Amino acid sequence: MLASFLSVAAFDFFFVPPQLSFAVSDTQYLLTFGVMLVVALIISQLTARFRFEATIATYRERRTRALYDLGRELASALTASQIIETAVGRLEPLFRAKVMLFIPNSEDRLRAATETGNDADAGVAQWVFDNQQPAGLGTNTLPSSAALYVPLKAPMRVRGVIALLPEDAVHPFLPEQQRLLETCAAQIALALERVHYVEVAQDAIVAMESERLRNSVLSVVSHDLRTPLTTMLGLANMLNAPTLPPGRQSEIAQSIQDEAIRMTKLVTNLLDMAKLQSGVKLNKEWQLLDEVVGSAVRACEHSLRHHKLELKLSRDLPVLEYDAVLIERVLVNLLENAGKYTPAGSRIELAARHDGDKVRITVTDDGPGLPSSMEHRAFDKFTRGAPESTTPGVGLGLAICRAIIENHGGTIEAGNAQPHGARFSFTLPAGSPPELPPEDA
């Protein structure tokens, strides 16, 4: 507006005779001055309005962008700590203020969820949480507070309180900024509620899975413990029978021993599975694979006495770093598993070869093979090739194998061989063995 008056005055002073004077010799110029002034005022008003609307549009675009970025990052957050980190990182530059969040515990008492939470008044935050109303700087409730407190309202309940401590304490937040903060707080609350119910659902799934697993353990273990115990009890009664022929005692004693070994294996499998799941420490050493293969074959001599075991070990096998006791357990489990599910007299092959940066060990049999639905579930706990089979076992051997191999950084898989039979293979990383110190002369 001032520019409009100055432009008319400059026109009169420099261009209207007498020049260099504000005097007007011709009164018609007064009409010209009036028209110029009106046009200039209209243009200045339109310019000011356009500038104001451009400022508003820029602010709205900035607000929309900020809400979009905040919502996008909150949607990808998987934990409450990630949500809090996102909220602090996005809101501090947006409002030029220190952002603090308070999250309730199981007793609805707030605790600071950010490192700067001690800078805010916990009492005010608790009041805001209990009353579900904003308070603090720029509000009618506790306006003397140095920070603005806004509840994190979600559809089901209040999920916490967010507090903003502005850098410029003299000028409180504008109403538009307070509305923007409430919108951001609503998004944060929705994200916190989503994560909460995801955790509740996960806990429910874990509880259901634990209950299912417990029932499976009780069902399988009770059956596989009761069967040998019943057998041993019957055999013990036969030993006490006065009419028992003398030659049968040795046979019955061997049967009792076999059942005791079966029970020992069952208990050992359960204990080993528990140890592996709790994080067993590997005793890895650099050694050849031939040694552990020989130990596993000797351990399976009795159980595979009715099968033909063939060894095919490549000559270029490198030295590997592994826990010999655990890898022997894997080989024994795979060999005994092949023996249990194949007829007597069939062939079982144990092969090992160098495959790039790893060594692949394969156990192949000539049995009926795996059902198509079992190839991806063979290593699950309490999973057996034939659920109704009379073959003894609880379905833990292959699960133990997978846990051991994964702890070694390898992979294990199951499939069917051609033309028939099952194939189990696992890999161990080849690695780089350390250089041996030179021998003394």
Residue 438 falls in which region: left (phi positive, over 0), alpha (psi -120 to 50) or beta = beta
- Residue type (1 letter), 98: K
What kind of architecture, by CATH, is found in domain 92-201? 2-Layer Sandwich (3.30)
- Fold (CATH) for 203-278: Helix Hairpins (1.10.287)
Q: How far is CA 438 from CA 101, 147, 246, 273, 307, in A?
A: 62, 71, 65, 42, 45
pLDDT for res 278: 66
Residue 233 falls in which region: left (phi positive, over 0), alpha (psi -120 to 50) or beta = alpha
pLDDT for res 102: 94
Highest mean pLDDT (candidates 33-42, 133-142, 215-224) = 133-142
pLDDT for res 441: 44
pLDDT for res 13: 63
Task: Name the helix (H) or strand (E) containing 37.
Answer: helix 28-76
Q: Are 2 and 35 in contact (CB under 8 A)?
A: no
Q: What is the pLDDT of residues 159-215, one digit of tens each?
A: 999 999 988 766 678 888 888 899 999 999 999 999 999 999 998 988 887 777 677
Q: Is the pTM of this model over 0.85?
A: no
Q: Does the 285-386+393-429 domain belong in CATH 3.60.110.10?
A: no
What are the residue boundaries of the structural domains of the chain, listed by start?
Answer: 1-71, 92-201, 203-278, 285-386+393-429
Cα angle value 140/143/146 (rounded, 5°): 150
Does 390 have pLDDT greater than 60? no
92-201 and 285-386+393-429 share one fold: no
Does 2 have pLDDT greater than 90? no
Whole-number Å distance between alpha carbons of 147 and 173: 10
Whole-number Å distance between alpha carbons of 346 and 333: 18
Mean pLDDT calculated for residue range 329-356? 91
Dihedral angle, C-alpha 363, 367, 370, 371, nearest 10 °: 170
pLDDT for res 56: 75
pLDDT for res 234: 85
Does 388 have pLDDT greater than 50? no
**Beta carbons within 8 Å of 328's beta carbon, 6+ residues apart:** 292, 295, 296, 299
Dihedral angle, C-alpha 182, 188, 194, 195, nearest 10 °: -150
